[in-house]
Amino acid sequence: MRLPSAQEEPVDLGQTARVKMPASKGGDFSLVGEEFSGYRIEERIGSGGMAVVYRGTHLTLKRPVAIKTLSQRLLENPKAIQRFLNVAKVSSQLSHPNIVQVYDSGVLEEYGIYYLVMEYVEGQSLSDYLKDKGKMPVEIACKMISYIASALNYANKRNIIHRDINPSNILIGAEDVPKLIGLGLAKCLDDEMTALTQPGKGMGMVGYIAPEQLMDATKANHRSDLYALGATFYNVVCGQTPYDTKNMREYFNCIHNRIPPVPPYEMNNEVPRTISDMILKLLEFDIEKRYASAEDFLMELRSYMNPQLRGEGIEKARKQIMAMLPTPKKMADFDFEAIYCPAEEIGGDFYDYIELNEDEFGIVIADITGHGVEAAVVVGMVKAALKIVGKQKTSPNDVVKEVNKEIKPDLDSTTFATVFYGIINRKTKKLRFVRAGHNPLILYNPDRNPPLSTYDPKGMVIGMFTRCICEEKEIQLQQGDCLIQYTDGITEAMNSVQEEFGMDRLYEAIESTQDKGNLRQILENIQNAAKAFTGAEQQQDDITLLGIKVK
């Protein structure tokens, strides 16, 4: 039995109460030696208030996995079961190198026990590291926190907040790369999970809970995660939490009375003032005074870690990326238009046109993580790989698979690319494309019914995993069709009150274009609508728009 997706009917939570459990002397009976669904449980490696964790083996692939089971004493507790199901639901939406991957989920039919099969991380928790070492060297701490900030940024952009960031939920794996776990308290901002949290009750670990979350867990948002990240950063470089207490009453009093933490540089003279100030900004009592997003914090931290992302390095990156953008193509049967607006700290957006053969051409739009020189270098790698492989492979799916295979070994674990790659046949007017983690494709034609459609086949980002699996889609184009692709910079453009431009405003800008058949005017109308929405607010990400029209 598999766990239901968000669209399926809920599980009958009463079923498990009717399953006869084997006798035990107390607590959870051991599942060691059990085989199910292609896995074998090898040994028990840990437990908590809600679950038991085992090391297991994938019997076909012969690789280790972690198998997490809901504690047997909670099998008659509907809320506990629903929280466990929430982990599966939330985790299935996340695919990031610094978040522990969930591979599988279901129910052990014989016992009625819910389970998750996850990536097995050989190492220790950050909590155990701190118990052993006290604190971490500042340079190493900055690198580790940047990984977790990258994971948070990825999750937050998908409307998922963690709500329980602390050292015990960070595993330190191979090559000291951290992995975020503990999604049991995570919340999807656009789903019904809020109902599981009672208003007026806080959630999380003492010392790491944001003030607004402490008062009412339903008020938590992505900036609450930033507070917890700040408390973790503080602990890592200072050897204690900001208020050095595990007592909830003491912690509550510190927060309620707005007692400021001792600055990290005073706790540890090896902490630079710049890093100390970043940590204190994460720990602001007032939510609006913290960083606007994990991405904003990550950019500032990376700038500190890598000065080339500033000044001359930024200008060099700008020139590099601008030089790689193609000039508009003149074609008999198609219009090709693009708009590119780099952010101040230039990001990793790019687009391209690839002449494949007499009948076909390729179109690309991509967004690379990072900014400045780092992003420019990866842009060059991905662009070159797409051009070379695109002329060797006839399937968009095969192209992104091969590109991923080529560039993955050269990227660090926080760098990846979202890519839209399509092939258009001039004669048949057919588009075949994949969406490797990129935004949905928009097709607009006032003569179609409906005039605006979106296409979002599933696909994994490039550069994150050893394999890149994408669903290939084919569309029969017709005269007047406008294909519109874009990067996150447009939909995530923010105004002064931190509202995003979003998809609805993007659709409205397309449909409100005066000359509905003018591709250039459509793209410019989107750009102008975004400018009017954001006003003077400085944007953190490039804005790129790409359009193809069938004449």
Helix (H) or strand (E) holding 378: helix 372-390
Q: State the Cα–Cα distance between residues 526 and 504, nearest whole angstrom.
A: 12
- Cβ-proximal residues to 449 (8 Å cutoff; 6+ apart), any chain: none
pLDDT attached to residue 322: 72
pLDDT attached to residue 16: 34
For 327, how many CA atoms within 13 A lie in the half-sphere containing its CB?
Answer: 2
Q: State the Cα–Cα distance between residues 381 and 351, nearest whole angstrom.
A: 13
Longest dimension (CA), the chain: 79
Q: State the Cα–Cα distance between residues 174 and 464, nearest whole angstrom.
A: 16
Q: State the Cα–Cα distance between residues 415 and 164, nearest whole angstrom.
A: 25
Helix (H) or strand (E) holding 14: none
Q: What is the mean pLDDT of residues 472-493?
A: 95
pLDDT attached to residue 414: 66
pLDDT attached to residue 436: 94
pLDDT attached to residue 13: 31
Whose CA is closest to 273, among 143, 134, 138, 166? 138
Class of the domain covering 15-119 = alpha beta
Q: State the Cα–Cα distance between residues 51 and 184, nearest whole angstrom.
A: 10
SS3 328: coil
CA distances in angstroms from 141 to 176, 199, 211, 240, 323, listed in the order given: 11, 35, 24, 14, 36
> What ranges do the domains of the chain cover?
15-119, 124-305, 312-550
pTM over 0.75: no
Q: What is the DSSP string of 42-81?
A: EEEEEE-SSEEEEEEEETTTTEEEEEEEE-GGGTT-HHHH
Contact 369, 314 (CB under 8 A): no
**398 pLDDT exceeds 90?**
yes
Instruction: Out of 173-182, 191-200, 225-234, pick the least confident.
Output: 191-200
User: What confidence tier does 444 reach under pLDDT thresholds 50, 70, 90?
Assistant: very high
What token pair was written down for 133?
């070492």
Q: What is the 3-state secondary structure (H, E, C) of 98-141?
A: CECCEEEEEEECCCCEEEEEEECCCCEEHHHHHHHHCCCCHHHH
**Cβ neighbours, 10 Å, residue 377:** 17
What token pair was written down for 60?
């076909």
pLDDT attached to residue 188: 52
| Higher pLDDT pick, 311 / 501 | 501
Instruction: State residue 216 phi and psi, 5-degree precision.
Output: -160, 110
**211 pLDDT exceeds 80?**
yes
pLDDT, tens digit, for every residue of 298-345? Answer: 988 988 887 654 555 566 666 767 777 777 677 889 999 999 988 766
Average confidence score pLDDT of the chain? 85
Q: What is the mean pLDDT of residues 127-149?
A: 95
Instruction: Out of 132-136, 217-221, 286-290, pick the least confident.
Output: 217-221
pLDDT, tens digit, for every residue of 78-107? Answer: 888 887 887 777 777 788 889 988 888 888
pLDDT, tens digit, for every residue of 58-67? Answer: 999 899 999 9
SS3 220: coil
What token pair was written down for 177?
């790369």
pLDDT, tens digit, for every residue of 249-276? Answer: 999 999 999 999 999 999 999 998 889 9
Instruction: State residue 97 phi and psi, 5-degree precision.
Output: -65, -15
Q: What is the mean pLDDT of residues 42-48?
A: 86
**389 pLDDT exceeds 90?**
yes
Question: 312-550: which CATH topology?
Answer: Phosphatase 2c; domain 1 (3.60.40)
Name residue 431's beta-bridge partners: 424, 475
106 torsion bin: left (phi>0), alpha (psi -120 to 50), beta (else): left
CA distances in angstroms from 14 to 11, 448, 482, listed in the order given: 9, 49, 51
Catalytic residues: 164
**Cβ neighbours, 10 Å, residue 352:** 20
Question: 124-305: which CATH topology?
Answer: Transferase(Phosphotransferase); domain 1 (1.10.510)
DSSP tag of 85: H
pLDDT attached to residue 442: 98
Q: What is the CA radius of gyration of the chain?
A: 25
